[in-house]
Each structure stands twice: as structure tokens, then as C-alpha cells.
Amino acid sequence: MEFEKLKQIRRSLHQIPELGFKEFKTQEYLLQIIKEISTEQVEIRTWRTGILVKVPGTNPKQTIGYRADIDGLPIKENTGFDYSSKHIENMHACGHDFHMTIALGALKSIIDNPIQDNVVFVFQPAEEGPGGALPMLQSQTFKMWKPDCIFALHIAPEYPVGTVASKPGLLFANTSELFIDFKGKGGHAAYPHLTKDMTVAAGSFISQIQSIVSRALNPLDSAVVTIGKMTSGNVQNAIAETARLEGTIRTLNPSVINTVKNKLEAIARGFEVSYDCEINLDYGSNYYQVFNESNYISLFKQAMHSTPIRYVEAKEAMTGEDFGFMLHEIPGFMFWLGVDSDYGLHHAKINPKEEALTVGVLAVVKVLQTLSNNVA
């Protein structure tokens, strides 16, 4: 697929970002392109707002999976592009428009030039939330075409175009959303003794949980507990009856995330007594770590050596990705694709360079060819 076509597709997708399991226009557009480039041999199935496309191999010994996520984020775009999001409150701020476009480009290449093995292209919804990988993995639709191995990419603003990065072992962390609701008793600011102030309770709670990482965990177990948002009260001269904290938990060890949750719950029970209130914790979406099989990383390096693309060794990050659920059950790997953006992931001004689209397509196709010639 030529660069101009890839650019056109990416910009069309960029304008219609949709949240998890609401990717109706996105699915419709993807199906339109997939049907345009498909032949009679290609099979297409849908699962909720996702799509699976199977390209039969010439002499298959295995089925190789490639996954692209398709949802956007609830972020108001501020790029100033003439192809900015038409869905004003949503944006492809994590590069999923790139991911989908690259998958379509690779799909056309494999359709036009089939490899020995079967390939299943997985267009997965709801990566950003509430999490689409695990339910898709468990669906009968996916199980019918379950790959023997699977891989995926993610754009990386910090790497230059023409560079990919990965590593064997842990690449992305275990993550969990965190929502904490406080319920007390509101009242007039002049009569605090008649109230149960949830602004004070929530503020103290934020301070208290800072001790979880520093005192409740082994110093060798990396973890992050971050509260990114706090809401409470309605007016300056009234004491807040409710408060809400929103944050995230991230760990490099899957067992540590349970330790953090247990400690949070213990602190919450103590605060209920101390502040005479009710506290409810909700962990929202939980993502399993992205763990790359070393033999697949070796084959990935081998594939890149036959291209102008530069491979560099990445470091593990506290980034979360629900592709980890797929890698937990199916061997494979994930890699970063350099897009050289001035702004980072989830930023309203992220501006990945579109030249990375052709690099991504080349990388994916070369990996598919290499995996087909070398059963790991």
C-alpha cells in the first residue's frame, strides 16, 4: 500500500475516534477498507466492535496473529490539524489510528503476497478501557482462529522514525485503575462539628497511601500508586459530604499489585473508623504485564536486520497494555515503533510523523515472513 493511501486512511481514522466498545464508525470504516483489498480466500469475522481477518497460507504449519487496537481516548484534541477529530471530546491520542492503518497496510501486503502460514489480523476494541483483550481472547469467535503466536506494536513518541525497540522479558507493567469514593455528612462551613468532612478525609488518605510503596513493599519490587484526580464539594462555604479519588496502580510483578490493593483496603477500613464515613474502592480495568518471549525477540531482531530499520534495546516501563492478556496465553512479543513526536502519548497535541506508517508496515510484514520461515 502506497504512503499516500496509508496517510489518507490514517487521517480518516484520526477523525472518528470512539471509546471502548463504541467503535461503530471505526468498525464500519475498517470493514470497508478490508473488503476493498480482500480476495475470495480471505475470511472476515466480527466480535462486538472488533474484527478478525484470516489470510490462508500457501502451506500452513501454524497460524500467526497480529493485533491492532482500535479505540480512542476521552481527550479533547488540540493539534490544530485540518484532519482533527470530528468527535470533539475524543481523540486518537495513543496512536491507535497508526496501529489500525499499519495493520491494514500489512494485511494488503500479505493478501497480495501470501506467506506459508495462516495469518489472523486482530482489530481489538477497548484497549484503553474497559479492556477488550481478555473478553475477546475468551470469545468463541477468537478461539476458532486462535493463533499459535501473536505480536503487536505501539507507537513511541520518544524514538525517531525508522527505529523500533523491544526487549526480551518484561516490557510493560501490570496496571489497575483505582477509584475511591468517600461518603460522610455535609453541612454549613460554620458548623464543622455537625459534619463529616470528606475533603479532609480524602486529602489525608492521599497522604497516607504514599507509605504503601515506601513501607509496605519490598524495596526491590517496583510499584507506583498515583492519584491523578480528586473531586469534592460543591461550594466554598459548605463542607463536602462526598469526595472521589481517581488514580492508577502499576507494578512490575503481578503478585505485588494484589499486595497494594490489600493495603489500600486496610487503610480504607481504618479511615472509615477514624473519619466516621463510608469508603468504597473500585479497581476498574486491570491489565496484565506485557512479557516478551526471548526466542521471538531474537526472530524480531533477525527480521529487522534484513531491512533499513534500526533495532534498539528498550527498557521496561510502567506503561499498561491489555495486549498482556494475550501474551499471557499465547507466546509472542510487542515492540515500540518510533514516530518522533514533540508530545507524548495521551497528550492533546501528540503529533506522530506519518512517515512511520511505511516503516511500521515494513516491520510487520518482515516479522510475518520471518516467523513463517522459523517456527519458534
Write out the catalytic residue numbers. Answer: 69, 128
The three-point CA angle 338-342-344 to 5° equals 70
H helix intervals, the chain: 3-14, 24-37, 96-112, 133-138, 140-144, 198-208, 210-211, 254-275, 294-305, 323-329, 356-373
C-alpha cell at 305: 536486520
Residue 237: Cβ within 10 Å count: 8
Query: 223 and 256 in contact (C-beta within 8 Å)?
Result: yes
Could you tell me where the DSSP H helices lie in 62-120?
96-112
Residue 124 has φ and ψ, to the nearest 5°, of: -95, 130
Cis, peptide link before residue 17, omega less than 30° from 0: no
Contacts of 167 (CB under 8 A, 6+ apart): 292, 297, 313, 314, 315, 316
Looking at the DSSP assignment, which residues form a beta bridge with residue 119? 55, 64
- 193 CB contacts (<8 Å, ≥6 apart)? none
